């Protein structure tokens, strides 16, 4: 084998043995924001069940804007489709509440969908906030 061929085999051997770069870990989701969203949803559900539709809507809206929106970039990086579905679920919940849906079961079901979506999207990578 000529020296150029041997050099080519050597280079290919070196390049071929390199390890693929490690996949970056999924971004961590701060537990304080997730807990705040969950708390807002819980308080909103209680208010809705007590017939306080306006208060319930405000609580959902506040939880979304104050606690969920800051999480969106992290969640979107992890799973853009699931994050979009969760955003849609929040929007539909607020729409149903504004429309004062006479079918309370539909609103309650939408609360469940938002909470389940949040659990699926955020829970696998929860971390404690850094000090």
pLDDT of residue 10: 42
Q: Is the CB of residue 107 less than 8 Å from the CB of residue 96?
A: yes
Beta pairing partners, 30: 127
Alpha helix (H) residue ranges in the chain = 3-16, 31-49, 53-63, 72-78, 80-98, 104-122
Mean pLDDT check: name the lowest of 34-38, 99-103, 107-111. 99-103
Q: Is the CB of residue 63 less than 8 Å from the CB of residue 41?
A: yes
Burial of 63 (C-beta count, 10 Å sphere; 0-12/13-18/19+): buried
Q: Where are the domains of the chain?
A: 29-123
Q: What is the mean predicted confidence (pLDDT) over 70-78?
A: 88
């Amino acid at each position: 084998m000529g020296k150029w061929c041997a050099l080519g085999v050597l280079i290919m051997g070196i390049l071929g043995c390199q390890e693929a770069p490690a996949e970056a870990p999924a971004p961590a989701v701060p537990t304080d924001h997730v807990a705040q969203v969950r708390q807002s949803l819980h308080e909103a559900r209680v208010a809705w069940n007590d017939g306080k539709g306006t208060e319930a809507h405000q609580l959902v809206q506040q939880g979304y804007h104050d606690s969920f929106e800051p999480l969106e970039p992290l969640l979107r990086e992890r799973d853009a489709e699931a994050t979009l579905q969760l955003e849609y679920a929040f929007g539909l919940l607020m729409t149903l509440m504004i429309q004062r849906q006479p079918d309370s079961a539909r609103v309650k079901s939408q609360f469940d969908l938002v909470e389940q979506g949040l659990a699926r999207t955020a829970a696998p990578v929860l971390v404690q906030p850094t000090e």
